[in-house]
Amino acid sequence: MSRQTGYIQDVPYPHHYQRESTPLWLSFITAALGIQGPDITRPYSWCELGCGQGFGAVINAATNPLGQFTAIDFNPQHIAHGRDLAQAAGLDNLAFIEADFSSLIQIAREQGPQHDFIVLNGVYSWISASDRQALHQCIEHWLKPGGILFLGYMCQPGMAFLAGAQRFLRCHAEHAAGDAVQQLLAGMAMLERMEQGGAGFFQHYPLAGQYLRLGKTQDPRYLVHELLNEHWESLHVADVMANMAACGCDYIGTATPLENIDALSLPGNLLPILDALHTPAERETFKDLARNQSERRDLYQKGIRRLDNEAHRQVLLDQVVSVLPGAPSNGGLTFDTRIGPVQGDASLFGPLLESLATGPCAFAELLRLPALQAQASLINPALQMLAWAGYLHPLLPGEVALERCRVLNRVIAGRAMRGESYAHLAAPTLGSALGAEPLHMVAMRVVLEYPEIGGRLLRETILAVLRDNGIAAGDDLQARLDAFVRITLPAWQQMGIVEIQRCE
136, pLDDT greater than 90 = yes
- Residue 289's alpha-carbon distances to 53, 151, 156, 276, 309, in angstroms, are 34, 19, 8, 16, 32
Band of pLDDT at residue 346, cut at 50, 70 and 90: very high
What mean pLDDT comes out for the span 29-58? 98
Q: Which long-range contacts (CB under 8 A, 24 or more apart) does 175-179 make?
A: 179/10, 179/11
pLDDT at 3: 36
* Per-residue pLDDT tens digits for 373-384: 999 999 999 999
CA distance 64 to 396: 8
475, pLDDT greater than 80 = no
What percentage of the chain exceeds 90 in pLDDT?
86
CA distance 496 to 453: 17
Please choose, from the candidates 296, 387, 294, the residue with its C-alpha nearest in 3D space to the C-alpha of residue 335.
387
Parallel, antiparallel or unpaired: strands 333-337 and 424-427: unpaired
CA distance 242 to 24: 27
3 state SS of 96: strand
Do 147 and 252 form a contact (C-beta atoms < 8 A)? no
* Per-residue pLDDT tens digits for 111-134: 999 999 999 998 999 999 999 999
223, pLDDT greater than 80 = yes
> Cβ neighbours of residue 58 under 8 Å, at least 6 residues apart?
82, 85, 86, 89, 91, 94, 408
Band of pLDDT at residue 474, cut at 50, 70 and 90: confident
Please choose, from the candidates 125, 388, 134, the residue with its C-alpha nearest in 3D space to the C-alpha of residue 237.
125
**Ramachandran bin of 254, using left for φ above 0, alpha for ψ from -120 to 50, beta for the remaining angles:** beta
* Per-residue pLDDT tens digits for 277-318: 999 999 999 999 999 999 999 999 999 999 999 999 999 999
pLDDT at 1: 35
What mean pLDDT comes out for the span 349-366? 96
Residue 425 gets which letter from DSSP? Answer: E
Band of pLDDT at residue 504, cut at 50, 70 and 90: very low
- Residue 209's alpha-carbon distances to 62, 346, 363, 459, in angstroms, are 41, 38, 45, 43
What's the burial of 154, exposed, middle or buried (CB within 10 Å: 0-12/13-18/19+)?
buried
* Per-residue pLDDT tens digits for 187-207: 999 999 999 999 999 999 999
What mean pLDDT comes out for the span 201-224? 92
CA distance 2 to 316: 47
Do 129 and 280 form a contact (C-beta atoms < 8 A)? no
The chain-wide mean pLDDT, for the chain, equals 94
6, pLDDT greater than 70 = no
372, pLDDT greater than 90 = yes
Stretch (H or E) spanning 427 = strand 424-427
What mean pLDDT comes out for the span 472-493? 88
452, pLDDT greater than 50 = yes
pLDDT at 134: 97
